[in-house]
Amino acid sequence: MEPNHAVENEKHCSSESSRKNSRENWIFKGWDQSNSKICITFQKTVISGRYSFHFKFSGGRDILTDFERAQSICFISRYESLPKFKKLKIAKINGKYVFENLWEARSVLNEYRPIIQNKKDSVYYCNVHKVCREKLLNTDSLKDLSITVNHLQDGDITIKFSRFLNEQCKAIKTILARCEFDYIYNGILQHSDQKFTNRFKEEYSSGEINYVFIKHALIVDKIKILLEDHYGLLKHLTSPSLGPL
């Protein structure tokens, strides 16, 4: 009978593992499909192939103001260190399934707060987009920095590139509007706003808070991808790099 029990237990474990993996895949796939639809809705402009940035400024000062340079350097350094929520880990403890790497989701979300939540921060995505857009649309290099984008085959695509960044920014704004980062940051991670206390207590006890963290930890990676071209533009403009030890 022992061999039969062993086979039966093996099948049982395999079934549990399959259900766990299925749930993990469902969470990842569902959010990825939802966000992809948002991106497709807004991102009508397609830019492929090689292109380069050209900077021109004829004023009597640095090409960037002190604020803009600080903003650019801070955004670049923060963007490069943004973590990715790579894998959802579910473990069975005392007969119950638990979100084993909740700490990782909390850590990832904390790193994104200045970029997606704090509107007064210079690295907030709308503020970063604003400075990029202004430089791209400026045609008077005597007054301010003027940036043009030259495509290897298509020539000057500055207006097209500006429109491309606008679409990315709108996609981010729409994604964030469907999320609950206000609750996460002001009710849990950064502050203890009393208007969220009852909800947090209820979801913490029921375990629903696990899904709140999972959903939002997955979504921020999509936001990082949408900001990649803003990062690329500012990186070419200021080019800071982390030095060695």
1-59: pLDDT as tens digits: 444 443 333 333 344 444 444 444 544 454 555 555 655 566 788 899 999 999 999 98
Q: Count of domains in the chain?
A: 1
- H/E/C letters for each residue in 33-71? HHHHHHHHHHCCCCCCCCEEEEEECCCCCCCCCHHHHHH
Q: Are 12 and 20 in contact (CB under 8 A)?
A: no
Answer whether residue 244 is part of any domain. Answer: no
Answer whether residue 51 is part of any domain. Answer: yes
Answer whether residue 212 is part of any domain. Answer: yes
Q: Are 112 and 223 in contact (CB under 8 A)?
A: yes
Answer whether residue 185 is part of any domain. Answer: yes
The amino acid sitting at 40 is I
- pLDDT tens across 119-128, in order? 999 999 999 9
Answer whether residue 88 is part of any domain. Answer: yes
The amino acid sitting at 89 is K
* pTM of this structure: 0.81
Answer whether residue 245 is part of any domain. Answer: no
Answer whether residue 124 is part of any domain. Answer: yes
Domain that holds residue 93: 2-238
Answer whether residue 76 is part of any domain. Answer: yes
